Amino acid sequence: MAIIHNTTLKPTKLELLTTWLPTRPWYAGSGTPELAKAGGFRLDDPEGEVGIEFMVAVDSSGPEPVAYPTPLTYRAAPLPGAEHALVGTMEHGVLGTRWAYDGSHDPVLRAELLALFEGRARAMAQSISDTPDHEVTHAYTGPGLPTGPAEVTDDRDGTALSLPGGTVLRLHRHVRATAPEGAAGHVSGAWDAPDGTRARVVFASLHTP
């Protein structure tokens, strides 16, 4: 069970993302983002070592607000071989230095997300300890999903994780309300849209050969 601490983060997660997002191929802006958190959920690491969060960050710096579903992991030490996936480091008021990573490159996030697809893991509330997030839904009825290393590819729409056997796990980096056509499964949740409504967002989808 992940414990949510009410404490300080320096810099904050949004401050880290303000620097990192413009370096990504899916960033739709042209300058420095002005970010606000608008929803998301967490997954528990069974080992209790890695924080796993799916955050919706809304950038209001342009003519129209743009929302970015963003998978992140938080670790007490660097993830070996993942220097290219480091979003930044933070000083946590309780836990000390935390290394924040683009979760698409973190094997713990990948394993728990696949477990969520299969119904073996629960989505947890973003900001409340030991509380399931009942707004998160998942759908997948295929065979057992493959484990092992994944090849990660970014493009203008999101991130593709190519799994053994030809299965592709797609992390969506722009808000979409429904799963892509032909998807074998999806994970979706809720977020606070700029118009004040509670809307749906697909965080990830599965595509099988």
Q: Is residue 164 part of a domain?
A: yes
Q: What is the mean pLDDT of residues 102-130?
A: 94
Q: Is residue 168 part of a domain?
A: yes
Q: Is residue 122 part of a domain?
A: yes
Count how many domains the chain has. Answer: 1
pLDDT on residue 130: 82
Quickly state the pLDDT bin for 102 (edges 50, 70, 90): very high
pLDDT at 141 over 90: no
Quickly state the pLDDT bin for 13 (edges 50, 70, 90): very high
Q: Which domain holds residue 149?
A: 9-207
CA neighbor of 49 nearest in space, from 77, 21, 26: 77
Q: Is residue 1 part of a domain?
A: no
- Half-sphere exposure for 53 (CA within 13 Å, toward CB): 24
Q: State the burial class of residue 152 (Cβ atoms within 10 Å of its Cβ: 0-12, 13-18, 19+).
A: middle
pLDDT on residue 138: 96
pLDDT 10s digits, 60-92: 999 999 999 999 999 999 999 999 999 999 997
Q: Is residue 2 part of a domain?
A: no
The two structure tokens encoding residue 82: 């993942």
pLDDT at 2 over 70: no
Q: Is residue 129 part of a domain?
A: yes
Q: What is the mean pLDDT of residues 126-135?
A: 89
Q: What is the pTM of this model?
A: 0.94
The pair phi, psi for residue 70, each rounded to 5°, is -135, 115
Q: Is residue 3 part of a domain?
A: no
